[in-house]
């Protein structure tokens, strides 16, 4: 008998993502308010872009009212984290990357949850006893831009399971499943055993899904691992690792894939896929 698991709702995912975002902001060190001159410059530019779009596309009152209704529904449905992370964050990350060196970054996304279990390397991510999926062994080394290993570097990792569900956002997945902070050894090396994640659909039962359907877009993200990699005195990298040949790799709804972040695992002979990937951090 096949059991159908409950899919995460857009509202539920948005609520969880909002709580996680607020928790991270509350504990962030050195967080300050945005200066008024930057608020004025950015908001003025944003509004000018909207005004120009209205003129260029000859937006009608009916279309304006439809957009207004959509924005109201996004707020009421708690979907701002989903909408912004899927359609906007990748451009913010591109701008941030202009002056950054080392490993390529990618978006954080809406499914990050702080405060996860800390494990020394080599580590196996927390999982269910009957966790399904192809075993994956990810190993590598964390170094600075001059090639010096960074002992005790932290590799925080989180991912979807074999069906594309994230713990903390799908009611049937235990809290902390396939999430951990892995501490590298004295040579900056790490080894993480997990399973290969599946591609997943962003939740489409709310206004974001309505927009995707109306625009005839698809809602899929390719399979990927999320990582935050950091060490004392170094800039923490936020990134994602993808899998060569994976579905949706060339048409990610979040536009977050990069060639430098694609893994090419090989079979170790026992059904486990193994792959190495090194991280390079720059000084903070």
- As a whole number, the mean pLDDT across the chain is 92
* CB contact set of 132 (below 8 Å; sequence gap of 6+): 161, 162, 163, 195
Q: What confidence tens digit (pLDDT) does each residue in 2-22 have?
A: 445 666 677 776 676 777 777
**Per-residue pLDDT at 2:** 42
Task: Quickly list DSSP for 14-31.
Answer: HHHHHHHHHHHHHH-TT-
Q: Cβ distance 182 to 194 under 8 Å? A: no
Q: What confidence tens digit (pLDDT) does each residue in 204-231 have?
A: 999 999 999 999 999 999 999 999 999 9
Q: What confidence tens digit (pLDDT) does each residue in 233-284 have?
A: 999 999 999 999 999 999 999 999 999 999 999 999 999 999 999 999 999 9
Classify burial at 24, counting beta carbons within 10 Å of its beta carbon; exposed 0-12, middle 13-18, buried 19 or more. middle
Per DSSP, the chain holds a count of helices (H) and strands (E) of 6, 14
Q: Cβ distance 168 to 16 under 8 Å? A: yes
CA count, 13 A, side-chain hemisphere, 22: 6
Residue 238 dihedral angles phi and psi, to the nearest 5°:
-105, 120
* Torsional class of 158: left (φ above 0), alpha (ψ -120 to 50), beta (otherwise): beta
- What is the share, in percent, of the chain residues with pLDDT greater than 90? 82
DSSP β-bridge partners for residue 137: 193, 274
Place of tokens 């005004």: 51
Q: For 191-232, where are the alpha helices, taking DSSP H only?
A: 207-214
- Strands 189-195, 123-124: parallel, antiparallel or unpaired by DSSP? parallel
**Per-residue pLDDT at 23:** 72
Q: Which domains, ranges and CATH numbers included, belong to the chain?
A: 10-19+35-281 (2.60.130.10)
Mean pLDDT of 43-61: 97
**Per-residue pLDDT at 3:** 47
């Amino acid at each position: 008998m096949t059991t159908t698991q409950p899919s995460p709702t857009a509202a539920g995912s948005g609520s969880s993502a909002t709580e996680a975002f607020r928790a991270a902001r509350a504990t962030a060190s050195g967080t300050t308010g945005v200066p008024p001159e930057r608020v004025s410059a950015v908001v003025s530019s944003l509004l000018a872009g909207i005004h120009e779009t209205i003129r260029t596309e000859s937006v009608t009152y009916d279309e304006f009212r439809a957009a207004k209704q959509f924005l109201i529904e996004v707020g009421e449905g708690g979907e701002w984290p989903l909408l912004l992370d899927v359609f906007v964050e990748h451009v913010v990350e591109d701008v941030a990357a202009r002056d950054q060196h080392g490993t390529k970054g990618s978006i954080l996304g809406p499914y990050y949850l702080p405060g996860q279990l800390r494990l020394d390397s080599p580590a196996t991510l927390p999982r269910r006893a009957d966790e399904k999926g192809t075993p994956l062994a990810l190993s590598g080394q964390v170094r600075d831009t001059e090639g010096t290993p960074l002992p005790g570097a932290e590799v925080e990792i989180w991912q979807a399971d074999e069906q594309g569900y994230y713990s903390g956002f799908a009611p049937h997945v235990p809290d902390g499943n396939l999430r951990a902070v892995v501490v590298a050894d004295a040579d900056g090396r790490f080894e993480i055993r997990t399973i290969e994640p599946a591609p997943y659909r962003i939740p489409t039962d709310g206004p974001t899904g309505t927009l995707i359907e109306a625009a005839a877009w698809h809602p899929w993200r390719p399979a990927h691992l999320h990582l935050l990699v950091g060490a004392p005195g170094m800039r923490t990298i936020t990134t994602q690792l993808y899998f060569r040949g994976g579905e949706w790799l060339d048409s990610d709804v979040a536009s977050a894939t990069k060639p430098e972040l694609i893994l090419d695992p090989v079979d170790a002979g026992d059904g486990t896929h193994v792959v190495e990937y090194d991280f390079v951090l720059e000084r903070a």
